[in-house]
């Protein structure tokens, strides 16, 4: 059974940093696409960054470009999202999501990802 578990969220002051982790279980395919999304209250999910494993190819949306870094550790079955220069408008629930057996080409929408974690809250105060 595939399972994704996020951690690392919390409260931080503006300008601070956090690193989110997404540990995955039950994935046996060698090539996979994992993305980080976030969701603001009352809004849909916004994709931030995606990574293809194991080759490590990444892409970023504008909201994440230059401040956020997605990476992976295959030995630990973990995908990371390092977030720097956080601002109050980054306050949201952050999710990791996966599609198995494929790379990330064309996977731009949350409907492209059948497997999701439960999310981790990030709160940035001014």
HEC sequence for the chain: CCEEEEECCEEEECCCCEEEEEEEECCCCCCEEEEEEEECCCCCEEEEEEEEECCCCEEECCCCCCCEEEEEEHHHCEEEEEECCCCHHHCEEEEEEEEECCCCCCCCCHHHCCEECCCEEEEEEC
Residues 55-69 have a mean pLDDT of 95
Q: Which band of pLDDT confidence, cut at 50, 70 and 90, is reported for residue 30?
A: confident
Residues 85-111 have a mean pLDDT of 95
108 or 90: which carries more pLDDT confidence?
Answer: 90
Give just the sign of the alpha carbon dihedral 118, 48, 79, 20.
negative
Residue 38: is its pLDDT beyond 90? Answer: yes
User: For the segment 42-61, what is each residue's pLDDT rounded down to a tens digit?
Assistant: 999 999 999 999 999 999 99
Tokens of 92: 């949201």
Residue 77: is its pLDDT beyond 90? Answer: yes
pLDDT above 90: percentage of residues in the chain: 92
* Of 6, 2, 1, residue with least CA distance to 117: 6
């Amino acid at each position: 059974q595939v399972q994704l578990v996020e951690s690392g969220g919390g409260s931080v002051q503006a300008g601070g940093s956090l690193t989110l982790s997404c540990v995955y279980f039950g994935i046996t395919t060698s090539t996979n696409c994992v993305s980080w999304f976030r969701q603001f209250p009352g809004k849909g999910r916004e994709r931030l960054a995606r990574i293809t494993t194991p080759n490590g190819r990444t892409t970023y949306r504008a909201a994440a470009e230059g401040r956020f870094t997605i990476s992976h550790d295959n030995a630990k079955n973990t995908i990371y999202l390092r977030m720097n220069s956080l601002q109050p408008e980054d306050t949201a629930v952050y999710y990791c999501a996966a599609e198995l057996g494929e790379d990330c080409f064309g996977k731009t929408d949350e409907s492209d990802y059948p497997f999701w974690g439960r999310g981790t809250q990030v709160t940035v105060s001014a």
